[in-house]
């Protein structure tokens, strides 16, 4: 099969409401190609599903309050019908995590008001911290302390987070937690996919390339954080530092 080589694009024209490129070859011969055909050719062989593989939008159907996961590109019709997205489900390596559609104010929150050994997984070992998947139990222990149990602090904000349908059913307060470092790394690994799914949800805010708190503690005065811009993992003071906070949950009834 012979492939024709074009040296330049001379003009873009509109014919009967359709847009076309005028392509000129080396002999000065012009060919009209529709933008729709050009787009299809450019996308040929590209796996468009890759960006949505392993991510879904979770909601409880108003009709029967049953939990569902749906592909992001199929969500709009459900949303237009009055359904509420509870979060973006990430499925990876046998683990399932629901990431909240919104987060604390972009200015961030304190982890706590003061030094407190709050009962979460506590380690000074980076690898041990990165392997912490106990965000739910970490947060449950941490909110028993007055220093971090209100919505002004990272653990308390996540514990109080809620997303429910018109019937009040769904991921209510108490079903969310501050992700552990392992869970936050899972979010980081799937950040582009999560933001793709979030783009379909009305009112959702994308994950930012910034530091986020985790529920994994380093000591009474410090907790681990993760930079979603470069994957940098380190620990820092629980107070007075403000960092972003994104709640997570599980796919549960």
Looking up tokens 């008001």, which residue turns up? 113
Categorize the per-residue pLDDT at 7 as very low, low, confident or very high, splitting at 50, 70 and 90. Answer: very low
Instruction: Specify the higher pLDDT residue, 31 or 57.
Output: 57
pLDDT value for 52: 82
Residue 22 pLDDT > 90, yes or no?
no
Tokens, residue 189: 């690994």
Q: pLDDT band for 51, please (50, 70, 90 cuts).
A: confident
Residue 9 has pLDDT above 90, yes or no: no
Q: What string of DSSP letters covers 92-160? A: ETTEEEEE-S--S-TT-BBS-SS----SS-B-S-HHHHHT---HHHHHHHHTTSGGG-STTBHHHHHHH
Strand blocks (E) in the chain: 6-15, 18-25, 30-34, 55-60, 67-70, 87-92, 95-99, 163-164, 170-171, 211-217, 222-227, 233-237, 248-249
Tokens of 183: 């869970």
Q: Is the pLDDT of residue 204 over 80?
A: yes
pLDDT, position 106: 86
Q: Please name the residue that has the structure tokens 């982890």.
A: 111
Longest dimension (CA), the chain: 79
Length reported for the chain: 253
Q: Which of the four pLDDT bands, split at 50, 70 and 90, describes residue 56?
A: very high
Answer yes or no: are the C-beta atoms of 190 and 92 closer than 8 Å. Answer: yes
Q: What is the dihedral of CA 14, 15, 20, 23, to 10 degrees?
A: -100
- How is the chain split into domains, by residue range? 6-43, 51-249
Given a contact cutoff of 8 angstroms between Cβ atoms, the answer to whether 160 and 57 are in contact is no
Q: Within 10 A of 190 (CB to CB), how many other CB atoms are there? A: 22
Nearest partner of 140 among 215, 238, 251, judged by Cα: 215
* pLDDT tens figures, 103-120: 998 899 999 999 999 999
DSSP 200: T
Q: What are the b/e assignments for 88-113, b being 16+ CB within 10 Å?
A: bbbeeeeebbbbbbebbeeebbbbbb
């Amino acid at each position: 099969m012979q492939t024709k080589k074009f040296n330049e694009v001379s003009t873009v024209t509109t014919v009967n409401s359709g847009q076309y490129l005028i392509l000129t070859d080396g002999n000065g011969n012009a060919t009209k190609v529709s933008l729709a055909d050009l787009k299809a050719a450019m996308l040929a062989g590209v796996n468009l599903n890759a960006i949505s593989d392993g991510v879904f939008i979770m909601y409880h159907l108003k009709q029967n309050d049953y939990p569902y996961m749906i592909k992001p590109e199929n969500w709009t019709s459900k949303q237009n019908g009055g359904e509420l997205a509870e979060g973006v489900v990430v499925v990876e390596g046998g683990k399932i995590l629901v990431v909240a559609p919104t987060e604390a104010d972009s200015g961030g929150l304190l982890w706590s008001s003061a030094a407190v050994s709050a009962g979460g997984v506590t380690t000074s070992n980076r690898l041990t911290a990165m392997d912490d998947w106990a965000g739910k139990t970490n947060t449950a222990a941490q909110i028993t302390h007055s220093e971090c149990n209100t919505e002004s602090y990272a653990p308390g904000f996540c514990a109080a987070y809620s997303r429910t349908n018109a019937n009040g059913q769904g991921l209510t307060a108490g079903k969310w937690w501050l992700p552990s470092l392992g869970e936050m790394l899972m979010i980081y690994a799937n950040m582009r996919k999560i933001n793709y799914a979030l783009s379909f949800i009305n009112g959702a805010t994308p994950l930012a390339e910034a530091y986020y708190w985790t529920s994994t503690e380093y000591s009474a005065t410090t907790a681990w954080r993760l930079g979603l811009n470069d994957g940098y993992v380190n620990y820092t003071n629980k107070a007075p530092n403000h960092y972003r906070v994104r709640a997570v949950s599980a796919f549960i009834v």
